[in-house]
């Protein structure tokens, strides 16, 4: 049976239709697409999979019509990552998948790195005003270095010096908080080998600074334990430590924290 034509005889003629302003429908579609992408990003969990990556990538390619659209999506991802350090690795994987999306001569990777560069320039002020936000930035910086790759598989070399600068700023600060040292250690254990390969002299200098901090006064037992584990990772050429050594540091840290509670 043929389908009945909808709207016939019910006052839905051309005179009753809302006039379409040129460009308005396109703008509305783009805005709707950006909202959908924002929802997708905010609903992601740490268990991101290939289907999630593909969905966001495809939706982005269909939605972006201008460099401003691309910037909005980069900002969505960036803000979520620096607010939620646990999501930083997932966010970096999404950025890796989307890095070559291009519109009006602007690439997603370039747009994202411009956001990172801005916060890097303001790192001292950000660290002073909001340590949580700064640690979110630093974690994401390390994760895009670890997970965003060029087509040949190389890491983003321009990030090496900024990461070293952030690491040295932390270890040089005699008033550094234990939470920052732990974030410092966790990220360096992930990217240490590649940082070392990219710039061995700076890694040697960094490790000398860490050793000096360990033996100087003013470092808490928790901070000293954190940095000792890092020195051991370096001594093992950044290879995964055996379970018994990992357990030793976990037990030592548990004892330290128990002592702090008492």
Instruction: Return d(Cα 218, Cα 174) in angstroms, integer.
Output: 7
Asked if pLDDT for residue 15 goes beyond 80, the answer is no
Instruction: Return d(Cα 157, Cα 194) in angstroms, integer.
Output: 10
- Rounding to the nearest 10 degrees, give the CA dihedral for residues 45, 233, 148, 78: 50
Count other Cβ atoms within 10 Å, centred on residue 241.
16
Interval 147-178: pLDDT, tens: 999 988 899 999 999 999 999 999 999 999 99
Which CATH code of 3.40.228.10, 3.40.1350.10, 3.30.1490.20, 1.25.40.180 fits the domain covering 160-262?
Answer: 1.25.40.180
Instruction: Return d(Cα 68, Cα 65) in angstroms, integer.
Output: 8
Give, as one character, the DSSP assignment of residue 4: P
Instruction: Return d(Cα 175, Cα 249) in angstroms, integer.
Output: 23
Q: Mean pLDDT of all residues in the chain?
A: 85
Q: Any bridge partners for residue 102, and if so which?
A: 107
Tell me what the mean pLDDT of segment 54-77 comes to.
93
Instruction: Please state the φ and ψ torsions of residue 102, each to the nearest 5 degrees.
Output: -135, 140
Q: Any bridge partners for residue 103, and if so which?
A: 106
pTM above 0.75, yes or no: yes
Domain ranges of the chain: 48-154, 160-262
**48-154, what's its fold?**
1.25.40
Query: Identical fold at 48-154 and 160-262?
Result: yes
Contacts of 213 (CB under 8 A, 6+ apart): 171, 219, 223, 227
């Amino acid at each position: 049976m043929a389908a009945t034509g909808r709207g016939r005889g019910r006052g839905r003629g051309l005179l009753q239709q809302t006039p379409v302003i040129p460009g308005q429908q396109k703008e509305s579609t783009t805005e709707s697409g950006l909202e959908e992408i924002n929802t997708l990003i905010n609903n992601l969990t740490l268990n991101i999979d290939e289907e999630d990556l593909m969905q966001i990538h495809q939706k982005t390619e269909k939605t972006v019509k201008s460099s401003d659209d691309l910037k909005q999506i980069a900002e969505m991802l960036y803000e979520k990552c620096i607010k939620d350090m646990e999501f930083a690795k997932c966010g970096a994987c999404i950025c890796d998948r989307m890095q070559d999306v291009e519109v009006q001569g602007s690439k997603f990777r370039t747009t994202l790195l411009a956001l990172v560069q801005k916060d890097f320039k303001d790192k001292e002020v950000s660290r002073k005003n909001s340590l949580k936000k700064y640690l979110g930035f630093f974690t994401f910086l390390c994760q895009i270095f670890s997970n965003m790759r060029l087509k040949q598989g190389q890491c983003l070399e321009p990030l090496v010096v900024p990461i070293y600068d952030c690491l040295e700023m932390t270890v040089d600060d005699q008033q550094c908080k234990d939470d920052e040292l732990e974030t410092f250690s966790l990220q360096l254990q992930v990217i240490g080998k590649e940082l070392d390969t990219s710039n061995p002299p700076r890694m040697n200098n960094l490790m000398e600074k860490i050793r000096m901090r360990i033996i100087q006064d003013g470092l808490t037992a928790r901070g000293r334990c954190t940095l000792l584990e890092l020195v051991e990772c370096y001594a093992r050429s950044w290879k995964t430590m055996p379970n018994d050594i990992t357990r030793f540091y976990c037990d030592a840290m548990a004892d330290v924290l128990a002592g702090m509670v008492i």
